[in-house]
Amino acid sequence: MLYRFVLPLVLLLALPVAHAVDAPAMKYEPVSNDPQAGGQDRFIITYRSDVAARTTAAVVQEVGVAMARAGIATNLGGQPVRHLRRLSTGAELVRTGRKLDPREANALMQRLAGDPAVLYVEPDTLVRANDIRPDQPIVPNDPRFGEQWHLRPGNGAMENIGKDTTAYANRGGSNASMAWHLSEGEGAIVAVLDTGITQHPDLDLSLANAGYDFIIDKQISGRAADGRVPGGWDTGDWIVAWQCFPFPPENSSWHGTHVAGTIAERTGNGIGMAGVAPKAKVLPLRVLGHCGGYRSDIADAITWASGGSVSGLPANQHKAQVINMSFGENSLCAADGVFAQAINGAVSRGTTVVVAAGNDNADMANYSPSSCPGVIAVAANGITGRRAHYSNWGSGVTLAAPGGGRYANDASSGSLQDAGFIWSTINQGTTVPTEAGYAGYPGTSMAAPHVAGVVALMVSARQALDLAPLTPAEIRSILRGSSRAFPLMPDKAIGVGIVDAYAAVVGATDTGGDLAAPLPNGALRSNWAGAAGEGLLFAIDVPAGAQNLNLRTFGGTGDVSLFVKRAGAPGSDGSGADFRSVKPGNSESVVIAAPAAGTWYLRVLGVKDFANVSVIASFKAP
């Protein structure tokens, strides 16, 4: 979104008056009240152009000395000052290890401004234009957007979808429509490894010819001869009798077109529906045809999509930042197998790989490529936020996303509901492509592209701010930390929560450090894992008058400790905590009878490697 800042035209109508000697201009911008919630911890220092440029270390040292001379206690137990980056103007952006109140902030800036080499010091505040912090999701003019519960906030709003006669509380949406205030995916490329793509007026097909059909075998591709061909077009994947025993005859699925639309269907164009990242570009790679697709073709497509070299093919001129794979098989992902090797290569080249967990209501550990190391494995939830009855589960699932529950109230049987499906683009041909259309599909195949689209929003938002790209591991961490807690404890483990597009984009563009995963009162956050020395950060907002704040970790394997602090996160090593619980194992507890109002932070720190740990925070509301 483009914000326009307009300076008012001021006419000086008063007569000039005599005045005393001008007072010297202040070299810093004082703050008279809290410039940001909780205080100020980011400062911009502009040095005079006629002095030698400071090194990063020198800037950090000077701010640290100024804090000490101003008598500002760090309460960090770690690094008191961090250098974030040098701005385009040449100014230096630094961050203190905790938020300073107005008195401390002014004292620090005054000390820094006393350096003759400093031209100006100012707080790095959040500048707001009108409605820069949205409180309502964007509603585009796409006429069938009303059917897409999965793109709206999962805030419990009652929604009646399509032809349904029953309304449901939407607690399973991806919050993409809120994220469009911040990013629409422009500049991001998502490689969709699937059945290919078809002509559709609601899709950006600018990279369709730049894609590739990776299917070599003519029986799978449907072509007259073996070999790969340029272009990622879907020519159909229908099955005739006995062609793919034991599968029955089937019409073409147009699966890749549906997935592509979920990721990047055009929005605000007055037709059809919308996609999670409507300005991202899809690079379609056909790897699935009649009867499916071979691992070997898929592995080559993963390599090529991420900028690697594939013999006999030209270099990919449109390297993907994200790969979506909405397919799988019942097999282990061997460390030395082609899936694992290809994915490892893609991740090493900086490409995030998103994979559907599978639709067999089984442990995902036995499915590939969703269980391969380095992927973001996505389970499916329905509109109520429950696990979709068909969705695979297990400790390897990263998070859940809308896939549709099929039946009323996301039950395992009953009557099919429009609210039980994910709505997107398809083709209406039974075998070969004919007319474009729209349809609702359920599955983890639909959940994965929601997450791939959110990654595209994150990539685009960082590009717009000229920030360095995030690594796949950082993207995975932000997705987990920004996820929304399940409204009810899932019957099986399907990750740490439901994807939240808006929170993920905010997390991706926050250069300030840790992202605290939200802990609603009484909500259980499960399936957390990490290595010894690694920490997880959570936050719960406690109102005035609340009683008996109970903060706990339990379950799983390994050993964690719990560190708790109000109005600021404990240090990465637990330092500065107001309360702590450091017993052996994972059963840690902190109980505060009369907690002060505000945000309380929980740092869960691995003493040993840990897995499947649950975290819960609750209080008695006033």
Going by C-alpha positions, the residue among 182, 259, 227, 244 that lies closest to residue 445 is 259
Q: Report the alpha-carbon distance of residue 470 to residue 462 in Å, rounded.
A: 8
Catalytic residue list contains 194 = yes
Going by C-alpha positions, the residue among 101, 98, 100, 95 that lies closest to residue 568 is 98
Overall residue count recorded for the chain in this entry: 622
**Which residues are CB-neighbours of 492 under 8 A, at least 6 positions away?**
387, 393, 394
Starting at the edge strand found earlier in the chain, the sheet holding 399-402 runs 229-230, 212-213, 281-286, 189-194, 322-325, 352-356, 376-381, 399-402
So what's the pLDDT on residue 475? 95
The token duo for 383 is 């509109």
Contact by Cβ (8 Å): 94, 65: no
Q: Identify the band that residue 37 occupies on the pLDDT scale cut at 50, 70 and 90.
A: very low
- 328 SS3 class: coil
pTM attached to this predicted model: 0.76
- 540 SS3 class: strand
φ/ψ of residue 465, rounded to 5: -95, 5
So what's the pLDDT on residue 11? 25
Bridge partner list, 620: 547
Going by C-alpha positions, the residue among 579, 557, 583 that lies closest to residue 570 is 579
pLDDT digits (tens, 9 = 90+) for 343-366: 999 999 999 999 999 999 999 999
So what's the pLDDT on residue 548? 93
DSSP 184: -
Annotated active-site residue in 181, 200, 255, 389:
255
Contact by Cβ (8 Å): 38, 131: no
So what's the pLDDT on residue 419? 95
pLDDT digits (tens, 9 = 90+) for 296-334: 889 899 999 999 989 889 999 999 999 999 999 888 888
Annotated active-site residue in 41, 124, 142, 194:
194
So what's the pLDDT on residue 78? 56
The helix/strand count (H/E) of the chain reads as 10, 25
Across 600-619, average pLDDT: 92
Annotated active-site residue in 183, 253, 326, 445:
445
Going by C-alpha positions, the residue among 149, 134, 137, 145 that lies closest to residue 450 is 149
Q: Report the alpha-carbon distance of residue 621 to residue 312 in Å, rounded.
A: 65
Cite the beta strand spans of 410-495 per DSSP E: 422-427, 436-441
Q: Report the alpha-carbon distance of residue 75 to residue 91 in Å, rounded.
A: 27
- 151 SS3 class: helix
Q: Which residue has the higher pLDDT, 234 or 80?
A: 234
H-assigned helices in 39-158: 56-69, 102-113
So what's the pLDDT on residue 120? 87
Q: Which residue has the higher pLDDT, 475 or 136?
A: 475
Is the Cα torsion angle 17, 20, 21, 24 positive or negative in sign? negative
**Which residues are CB-neighbours of 442 under 8 A, at least 6 positions away?**
380, 388, 390, 403, 404, 405, 406, 420, 421, 422
So what's the pLDDT on residue 124? 73
Region of 238 (left: φ > 0; alpha: ψ -120 to 50; beta: rest) is: beta
φ/ψ of residue 407, rounded to 5: -100, 165
Across 515-521, average pLDDT: 84
Contact by Cβ (8 Å): 525, 554: no
Catalytic residue list contains 363 = no
- 12 SS3 class: coil
Q: Report the alpha-carbon distance of residue 582 to residue 606 in Å, rounded.
A: 11
Across 557-582, average pLDDT: 91
φ/ψ of residue 561, rounded to 5: -120, 160
Q: Report the alpha-carbon distance of residue 605 to residue 535 in Å, rounded.
A: 4
Per-residue pLDDT at 88 exceeds 70: no
Looking at every residue in the chain, the average pLDDT score rounds to 87
* Of the candidate ranges 329-333, 554-558, 576-580, the one whose mean pLDDT is the lowest: 329-333
Per-residue pLDDT at 218 exceeds 50: yes
Query: Vertex 457, ends 453 and 458: CA angle to 5°?
Result: 115
φ/ψ of residue 482, rounded to 5: -95, -5
Per-residue pLDDT at 129 exceeds 70: no
Per-residue pLDDT at 180 exceeds 80: yes
Q: Report the alpha-carbon distance of residue 303 to residue 293 in Å, rounded.
A: 16
* Of the candidate ranges 65-69, 85-89, 200-204, the one whose mean pLDDT is the lowest: 85-89
So what's the pLDDT on residue 515? 74
The token duo for 564 is 């708790």
Q: Report the alpha-carbon distance of residue 511 to residue 174 in Å, rounded.
A: 23
Contact by Cβ (8 Å): 177, 142: no
Helix 102-113 crosses helix 56-69 at what angle (to 10 degrees)? 120
Task: Give first-to-last CA distance, the chain, whole Å.
Answer: 39
So what's the pLDDT on residue 122? 79
